[in-house]
Structure 1
Amino acid sequence: MIRLLDFLFALFGLLFAFPFLVILYVIGLFDTGSPIFTQERVGRNKKPFTLVKFRTMKVDTASVASHLASASSITPFGHFLRKTKLDELPQLWNVLKGEMSLVGPRPGLYNQGELTHAREAKGIYSVRPGITGLAQVNEIDMSTPELLAKTDRKMIDTLTVANYFKYILMTVTGSGSGDRVGKH
């Protein structure tokens, strides 16, 4: 049931948002010259997949978890995209392809060993990663791997269709602030 909802929401989301996505893409061209950001992430069963987002940081920013990146790397338009969570919209493509769900644990990077270990111990990789979830709406990010893994497990164990819609609604209405970015 969740996969069907994911597919339908992603398909209709991409179709209806397409003109808006084009506008954000064009603004991104002026902002960084390269508006689409792709990065290999850890997917279901630890299978790698390429996550797609709108770029929010300068092109030469190191490929690290957000909390390890410098806040000075974020462009002014990128700040707007992060604050409104519009940078996540291209991930609807990942959802449509079945690599992600709208609701699930945020996919980590392969170089985040502590997070990968904590998630493996809690069986988090048995589900598709998601755009949002319990941790995101409660502002728990990848800077606290054990807490994140514990929260991901709680979400997986209690995920119902009602909670699915609850997390999406909370995200759309502004709960959570997304991944923190380092101060340095």
Structure 2
Amino acid sequence: MPRLTDARKELRRAQITEAAVRCFGRNGLERTSIADITAESGLSTGSIYAHYNNKADLVQAAAREVLAQRAAVLGEYAAGDTPPDPEELLARLIAAIDAVDARVGVQTWGEATTDPAIRDIVVDMTDRMRALLHDCVTAWLVKVEHHEPAEARERATPIAHRISAQYLAELLYAALRSPTEEPSS
């Protein structure tokens, strides 16, 4: 049997993770089985288990993928010559909310109340998101509002906290207002 290259392994992992997110969004975390993910991905069960030990690993991978996408966007905002002000930053984040990702996120939060491994993922993701928002707001305060870096970091803390809270509220709203079925073609 030919060995997979590292690049091919990453593509396969992404394929599995994307299939898991679609299943979680459609069926819920609890009602999604590895068989569902196998069918959705078009891969064998053995292939799934070659890349992930269990469904909890897939939940973790899905959560980290969503965070990586947001991190890339926030990093671009912070690195820009004119980072967006907090109101614009929040508006951009809200505009980029994907209904399936929102449903999976809310389900993951629910699982975090009873599953310590999932709770660790959610706490880590929330802390990272807030840190990324803090970096972006700090960059705006320094580059646009012309604050000294130390003062900007201090002032950014409550602003990033409010943006994070509002963003999480919008994720919840998006999850609740969107249907759980896949849109018909």
What TM-score do you get using the length of structure 2 for normalisation? 0.28
More strand by share: 1
Q: TM-score, normalised by structure 1?
A: 0.29
Q: Tell which structure's C-alpha radius of gyration is larger.
A: 2
Flag the structure with higher helix content. Answer: 2
